[in-house]
């Protein structure tokens, strides 16, 4: 069966065709959330990372294509990212993003979902599992933030991004990817253009201003709360990640009782892109097994 698209208010067909990052829109409190709703099967919530110009589609396009024949995938742009619309003067915080996620699930009528969180999205997946354990079926944390660690030069560069095509190319090739040959000039140009859409850089710069160790700490959860997570959890990491250290996943593995880990060698921060087929196979096997 082909992929099934769902949603509340569809953006114009012309916009969808010209930019696949624009999906559907739904009201989630004070935020109008842009999201993708594809496929049939158990509901799977995908939470993206926090790179410059990121969106749910940019982060998860390969995963959506690989898993939409087995899952109903819902992938929102969190406030301040992608094409979600936020009110003027919004303050970005873990509490704001969590409220948006819960309102998003409520608006779609999804009482319980599998959750995959990437990097920053991993901290938000943890937040959902801790605050609303009844909403989570199984949990996948990939290169996840959410436990204490020392700010890496890679993450400092990502959160401190100042727009230029050269800087975007250096970030993608030196910080995100293990194999720089995967990063084409067209891909760099596309992500750079996404990072300079009107208002995007202003939002991004306001989220994680220097000194940035405080934002690592702000996205971390108390050890006791993580140890209390009852869900079956899969922890995934790229061994060669320069943005989020492998130690974070090893900490999560030791703190979450019902946890297992899959570490990809020759892999940086973009597991779902650098090892797209294997990543989808591992995640599907865990969620359906």
- Please identify which residue in the block is written with the tokens 């320069």: 242
> Does residue 93 carry a catalytic annotation?
no
- Separation of alpha carbons 79 and 121, rounded Å: 12
CA 151 to chain centre: 19
Query: What's residue 18's pLDDT?
Result: 83
Contacts of 150 (CB under 8 A, 6+ apart): 213, 216, 245
Catalytic member of 119, 144, 195, 249: 119
CA 246 to chain centre: 17
- Separation of alpha carbons 69 and 284, rounded Å: 11
pLDDT one digit per residue (tens) for the chain, 289 residues: 334 444 443 333 333 458 999 999 999 999 999 999 999 999 999 999 999 999 999 999 999 999 999 999 999 999 999 999 999 999 999 999 999 999 999 999 999 999 999 999 999 999 999 999 999 999 999 999 999 999 999 999 999 999 999 999 999 999 999 999 999 999 999 999 999 999 999 999 999 999 999 999 999 999 999 999 999 999 999 999 999 999 999 999 999 999 999 999 999 999 999 999 999 999 999 999 9
> Does residue 119 carry a catalytic annotation?
yes
> Does residue 186 carry a catalytic annotation?
no
Contacts of 40 (CB under 8 A, 6+ apart): 1, 4, 71, 72
- 47: helix, strand or coil: strand
Query: What's residue 15's pLDDT?
Result: 39
Catalytic member of 36, 123, 221, 241: 241
Query: What's residue 2's pLDDT?
Result: 39
Fold of 9-288: Rossmann fold (3.40.50)
Q: What is the DSSP letter of 181?
A: G
For the entire predicted model, the pTM comes to 0.94
Catalytic member of 221, 237, 269, 275: 269
- 182: helix, strand or coil: helix
Closest C-alpha to 81, from 216, 203, 260, 164: 203
Report domain extents, the chain.
9-288
What radius of gyration, in Å, describes the C-alpha atoms of the chain?
Answer: 17
Query: What's residue 17's pLDDT?
Result: 52
Q: At what angle do helices 276-288 and 56-67 cross, to 10 degrees?
A: 70
Where b means 16+ CB within 10 Å and e means fewer, 88-112 reads: eeeebebebbbbbbbbbbeebeeee
């Amino acid at each position: 069966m082909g992929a099934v698209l769902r949603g509340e208010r569809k953006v114009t067909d012309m916009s969808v065709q010209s930019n696949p990052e624009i999906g559907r829109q739904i009201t989630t409190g004070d935020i109008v959330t842009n999201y993708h709703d594809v496929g049939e099967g158990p509901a799977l919530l995908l939470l993206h990372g926090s790179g410059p110009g990121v969106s749910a589609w940019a982060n998860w396009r390969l995963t959506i294509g690989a898993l939409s024949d087995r899952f109903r995938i819902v992938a929102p742009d969190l406030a301040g990212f992608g094409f979600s619309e936020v009110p003027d003067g919004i303050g970005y915080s873990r509490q704001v993003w969590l409220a948006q996620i819960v309102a998003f699930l409520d608006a779609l009528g999804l009482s319980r979902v599998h959750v995959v969180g990437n990097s920053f999205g991993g901290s938000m997946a943890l937040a959902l599992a801790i605050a609303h354990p009844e909403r989570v079926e199984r949990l996948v944390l990939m290169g996840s933030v959410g436990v204490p660690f020392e700010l890496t030069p890679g993450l400092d560069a990502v959160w401190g991004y100042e727009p230029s095509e050269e800087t975007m190319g250096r970030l993608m090739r030196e910080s995100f990817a293990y194999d720089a040959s995967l990063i084409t000039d067209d891909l760099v140009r596309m992500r750079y253009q996404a990072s300079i859409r009107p208002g995007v850089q202003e939002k991004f710069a306001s989220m994680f201003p220097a000194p940035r160790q405080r934002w690592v700490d702000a996205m971390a959860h108390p050890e006791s709360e993580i140890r209390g997570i009852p869900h079956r959890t899969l922890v995934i990491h790229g061994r060669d990640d320069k943005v989020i250290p492998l130690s974070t996943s090893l900490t999560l593995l030791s703190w979450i009782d019902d946890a297992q880990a899959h570490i990809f060698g020759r892999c940086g921060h973009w597991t779902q892109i650098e090892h797209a087929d294997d990543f989808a196979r591992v995640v599907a096997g865990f969620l359906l097994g």
